[in-house]
Each structure stands twice: as structure tokens, then as C-alpha cells.
Amino acid sequence: GDSVTQMEGPVTLSEEAFLTINCTYTATGYPSLFWYVQYPGEGLQLLLKATKADDKGSNKGFEATYRKETTSFHLEKGSVQVSDSAVYFCALKKVSGGYNKLIFGAGTRLAVHP
Amino acid sequence: EPEVTQTPSHQVTQMGQEVILRCVPISNHLYFYWYRQILGQKVEFLVSFYNNEISEKSEIFDDQFSVERPDGSNFTLKIRSTKLEDSAMYFCAGHPGLAGQETQYFGPGTRLLVL
């Protein structure tokens, strides 16, 4: 079945370091891909998305490119801040009969230290 | 900016008891979802709901689970007889459903602990 695999955390970085969180997926057809972020005590927020191959989603300095050939959607940021500390979830969207459901990875906790 | 809200934020219950988790979606949303995350595991789809009907449900969503939108605003998930393995964070989500407006907006979650 369809699935998403993320690198395990926690990822611990110093402020201004480069971030990569790996995400690969298995799916039939052409799913849309997402990164959601969960800050402490809050719900899941959409960080960025890409709906077709070679699309690049970007937001708040984060980027991810939909790579169909490697079935990947790795999240990157050039210079992380303490405020980026959160749990990051990669997800794909399956459309079934006109309705959507998200299939999530396990989440990767990021801790950024000053 | 409108938000999805969920109550309670935390609930502790005894095995076999009924629990009702409540969600207030954003007012113009038409499609609704419940997901759960067992501690340390993936966020899993439970059920989707549209036009007062379940549109899809996962294998997890057995006869012990039900959903309803009783008053046009609240969207509830009921677990009739809780089991230890129902302990998880439960997330509600929704979206307007119009073309190009299919991004799901999530609530902060309810942490359920079954003892």
C-alpha cells in the first residue's frame, strides 16, 4: 500500500546550520506531497506542498522538490533558527472517489540550539 | 485567522468507558477528517465525512467508533467502549472542498489516555 518514510529523529542542530530531513514515498499514480509542522502544544500546520513532479514547494525559508524518479520530497532549509524547533511530518494525499486522505510519515523532531 | 478547535485537550478514561471527542471546524469547511497518532508512531487516517455521511474509513475505524455532526458546527468522534490501545492523540481536520482549496486544516489534537 501507499506509505511515507521519514528519517528518524531527533535532529539536533545549532542555529544557522543547514537542515535536511529526508522523505521518500511509495504510491500508485501521482500523489500530491506535503510537509506539515507541529509546534509544541499546537496542531499540524501546512508548511509547503507540491502537486506534481519537479514542483518545488517553499515557505518560511523551507524548500522541498517533488522528485518522481527517486520518489522523494526532502525538506531543506539553509539556516535554521531556534523558532524552527518542532516536529515535521511528510505526507502524501490520495484522492479516492473525490475525497482526500493524507498518509503521513512518522514525523521527525527538530531541536535547534542557540 | 479562523482555527480548528478541539476539546478536551486531554482526557483520561477507564477501559470500557465511552468517550466523545469534539471538534469545531472552520465555518466554511465541508469535508472533515479524524486522524490519530499513537505515541511514537505515524499519524493515521481514521475517517472522512461529507454531507453528513462517512465517505471513507480505515480498518482502524471499527464498530466501536462513530462520527457525527449533530448541530452543523461540532464534529464529534465517539469511541463506545475504549480499549488500552485507543490511547493516542486524535486530530480533527477539514477543508472547504472547492477546487484548489483542498489543503486540510488541523486542530491541536486531543490526547486520550485509556487506563
- pLDDT, tens digit, for every residue of A10-25? 999 999 999 999 999 9
A92 pLDDT band, cuts 50/70/90, is very high
pLDDT at A97 over 60: no
Tell me, what's the pLDDT at A80?
97
- Percent with pLDDT over 90 in chain B: 69
Judge: A44–B91 Cβ closer than 8 Å, yes or no.
yes
B chain contacts of residue A105, beta-carbon cutoff 8 Å: 42
Tell me, what's the pLDDT at A64?
98
Check CB contact of A87 with chain B, cutoff 8 Å: no
Backbone angles phi and psi of A83, in degrees to 5? -70, -10
Tell me, what's the pLDDT at B96?
86
DSSP SS3 for B75: strand
The DSSP code sequence of A6-66 is E--S-EEEETT--EEE-EEEE-SS--EEEEEEE-TTS-EEEEEEE-STT-EEEETTEEEE-
Under DSSP, the state recorded for B14 is: -
Residue B71 or A83, more confident? A83
- The position carrying cell 480498518 is B59
| CA atoms of B34 and B45, how far apart (whole Å) | 7
Average pLDDT of the segment spanning A101-111: 93
pLDDT tens, B31-41? Answer: 999 999 998 78
**Is the CA virtual torsion B45, A95, A92, A39 positive or negative?**
negative
B28 pLDDT band, cuts 50/70/90, is confident
| CA atoms of A50 and A73, how far apart (whole Å) | 9
Least confident piece of the model among B31-35, B47-51, B61-65, B101-105: B101-105
Q: Contact, A30 vs A52, CB < 8 A?
A: yes
Tell me, what's the pLDDT at B63?
94
Judge: A99–B104 Cβ closer than 8 Å, yes or no.
no
Tell me, what's the pLDDT at B100?
64
DSSP SS3 for A80: coil
Q: Contact, B8 vs B110, CB < 8 A?
A: yes
